[in-house]
Chain A
């Protein structure tokens, strides 16, 4: 198809490219600052402040991280297990639920949708929920208290069900006639067609678990179970942390790299999850369909 370029269009495109470029830069710059800041010598931070391109580079903080990272390695482990187990379990439960809500012949479809949706409108609030988990289920200092809260989300079920709507009913019906039961249809027909939706929603779930710190703050007091972000949170809020890490590693450091060490921790806590994005990006547009909430 030929595209005629009129004056209007040229003006619109010029504005578009400018706006989008500017926004993209604004989104990127803080990341660059964190990364270059983590490579900045501590004295330079105090002397010149944080800058995009530091005047004095240093690897001191990274050395400290690698040498003294025993508790960091443990936090990585907690987060990795939480992310993998949580994402797998959550995808399984959400996709099964989405599949049943997609089946037009399921008699309690609308009632069930409302049963799920109502939980987003009304809740008992933080305190009864907290007491349920901490007292009645006794999940304090139990990793389950970090796994459970993000496990099933109404919004994810909604997005997955709306994706399934693009699969024609006739596919399900013919499989039924061939004698496949409802679970086999899900396993053999629906799941293989759900790739984009599973990838996209899976990324959101994985991100949620990777960035988990809130439930750890509520329910965890044992350092063994601190996930990465909560470990980072505590690091950022304790000034003496670099000194502690140095002591743990037995390294002599002339000036404690407190500020740059915080940034190194930030890079370490964020880094790995970003590598998921390229694998998922191509599914993005296909995988998200926000249709109506009901029916």
Chain B
């Protein structure tokens, strides 16, 4: 009897829930449709990696190519340095960026001069506003061989000009500094918001106990920031195999001399698609990126669950 009611209750329950919540369902419909069409619908398109794509025939009617595209991608020897570059750059961006953002946010939170805080925060937020196209122009102004500011300074100091556009070795430093510079103001706001959310009574209690500034930062501020740091880090790990296309494409450009140190999967896929029109191989590279990304985030999330379930993303 009870089993029967449970079974008959289920569909009715579902319909009742729909009837009760139809307005809210309607409200999320645009977002659901959006992700369904633009994120879920292209997913089966990944089979293109196993096909010889013909634009007129479309994804499903194009002939099969077996593992040819993957053989070509991995056989070219590019896969290794692309993976290395993409992941290492993201790790470096994450570590350097987070450390500096947390440091400056803590410093700002201790300051009492309102005007100073406001002015410096505004200045540090400026780089966030400009497009990567403009950053590409900055870089050119600074490092241009003939009249870049950097070479202007070098020559005025009586030193030799340097041409960074033919020296791959310096690019990891340039890109890390640039990315940190661009994201600093934004990150500071995120962490400052988290610090402002800390109960002031905790600090007052610490004052009564005679704690000094360093002790308060170490024992109160940092532990209270930890959830935010972990969430933002895990979100960043969720995109660890996604290269920042806009950064790499605009700053490095199509300078083949630098690719060993500067090419990431995203720029490679873009060039394979738009310049070589190699749909199959670029899908294969993209598929490899997606799968690797999923494996990494699953692993990291699993490990996080083992340590502390609260912090895991899912």
A residues 6-39 with Cβ under 8 Å of B?
A: 6, 8-9, 12-13, 15-17, 19-21, 23-28, 30-31, 33-34, 37
B131:A263 contact, CB within 8 angstroms:
no
- Does B87 make an interface contact (CB < 8 A)? no
B residues 1-57 with Cβ under 8 Å of A?
A: 17, 21, 23-24, 27-28, 30-32, 34-35, 37-46, 48, 55
Q: Is the interface of A mostly helix, strand, loop or mixed?
A: helix
Alpha-carbon distance between A96 and B214 when the two chains are bound, in angstroms: 43
| A120 interface neighbour in B48, B212, B239, B274, Cβ under 8 Å | B239
Output the residue of A48, A126, A236 with the most chain B CB within 10 A: A126
Output the residue of A19, A114, A284 with the most chain B CB within 10 A: A284
Q: Of B75-83, B90-98, B148-156, B165-173, which stretch is located at the interface?
A: B148-156
- Does A93 make an interface contact (CB < 8 A)? yes
- Does A121 make an interface contact (CB < 8 A)? yes
Which residues of chain B are near A123, meaning CB under 8 Å? Answer: 39, 42-43, 290
Given A123-B42, A124-B287, A130-B273, 5 extra CB contacts under 8 A: A12-B213, A97-B30, A129-B42, A290-B190, A292-B227
- Does A225 make an interface contact (CB < 8 A)? no
Tell me the minimal C-beta distance from B126 to chain A in angstroms.
6
- Does B64 make an interface contact (CB < 8 A)? no
CB-defined A-B contacts under 8 Å, sample of 9:
A9-B213, A24-B124, A28-B123, A128-B45, A130-B273, A232-B137, A270-B130, A281-B122, A285-B189
Which residues of chain B are near A279, meaning CB under 8 Å? Answer: none
Alpha-carbon distance between A1 and B206 when the two chains are bound, in angstroms: 14
Known: A135-B58, A213-B131, A269-B131. A27 touches B184 (CB 8 A): yes
Chain B residues near A (Cβ < 8 Å) = 17, 21, 23-24, 27-28, 30-32, 34-35, 37-46, 48, 55, 58-59, 103-104, 107-108, 110-112, 116, 118-134, 136-138, 140-142, 144, 146-149, 151-152, 155, 181, 184-185, 189-190, 192-194, 196-197, 204, 207, 212-214, 227-228, 231-232, 234-235, 238-239, 245-246, 250, 266, 269-270, 273-274, 279, 282-283, 285-287, 289-290, 293-294, 297, 310-311, 313-314
Q: Of A56-64, A148-156, A242-250, which stretch is located at the interface?
A: A148-156
Alpha-carbon distance between A128 and B286 when the two chains are bound, in angstroms: 9
| B111 interface neighbour in A17, A129, A155, Cβ under 8 Å | A17
Tell me the minimal C-beta distance from A115 to chain B in angstroms.
7
Chain A 118-145 near chain B by CB (<8 Å), digits 1 or 0: 0111111111111110011000000000
Closest to B273 in A: A127
Which residues of chain B are near A157, meaning CB under 8 Å? Answer: 31
B235:A270 contact, CB within 8 angstroms:
no
- Does A222 make an interface contact (CB < 8 A)? no
A16:B111 contact, CB within 8 angstroms:
yes
| A128 interface neighbour in B46, B124, B266, Cβ under 8 Å | B46
A289:B197 contact, CB within 8 angstroms:
yes
Alpha-carbon distance between A288 and B199 when the two chains are bound, in angstroms: 17
- Does A241 make an interface contact (CB < 8 A)? no
Which residues of chain B are near A23, meaning CB under 8 Å? Answer: 104, 120, 124, 184
Alpha-carbon distance between A128 and B313 when the two chains are bound, in angstroms: 27
Alpha-carbon distance between A114 and B314 when the two chains are bound, in angstroms: 8
Chain A 140-173 near chain B by CB (<8 Å), digits 1 or 0: 0000000011011001010000000000000000
